[in-house]
């Protein structure tokens, strides 16, 4: 399993970029707000062929699973979900999102992003 950071996203190899589940969403959200989270490969499209494809994409907040999408070779490895930020009691805190992407040949990859709650 590989966890990449912003540096890897810019300087990484095409192999790393096509397996890494990039999280795209606002860096700051309001408490209780519903916001969009998009997960896709990090700049290089992964092949989706009979013998080589992304089998699932998963999103967690901390250790809590939010969503998992199982894919076949006929789907695009991209997911858009809408999640609700924590309540007013969490203002000023940080919420950590973790995305996982599983390639049937190259294993599981993850990416983490911190979101500030205001």
Query: Could you report the per-residue pLDDT of 58-105, keeping only the tens digit for each?
Result: 999 999 999 999 999 999 999 999 999 998 888 999 999 999 999 999
The model's pTM: 0.88
- Would the pLDDT of 9 be above 50? yes
- Distance CA(92)–CA(58), nearest Å, equals 26
**How confident is the prediction for the chain on average, in pLDDT?**
90
Strand pairing category for 34-41 and 78-84: antiparallel
């Amino acid at each position: 399993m590989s966890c990449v950071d912003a540096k890897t996203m810019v300087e990484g190899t095409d192999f790393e970029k096509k397996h890494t589940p990039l999280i795209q969403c606002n860096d700051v959200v309001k408490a209780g707000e519903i916001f969009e989270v998009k997960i896709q490969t990090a700049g290089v499209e992964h092949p989706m062929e009979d013998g080589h494809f992304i089998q699932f994409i998963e999103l967690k907040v901390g250790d809590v699973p939010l969503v998992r999408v199982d894919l076949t070779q006929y789907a695009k490895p991209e997911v858009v979900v809408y999640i609700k930020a924590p309540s007013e009691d969490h203002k000023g805190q940080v919420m950590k999102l973790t995305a996982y992407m599983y390639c049937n040949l190259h294993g599981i990859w993850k990416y983490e992003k911190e979101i500030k709650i205001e």
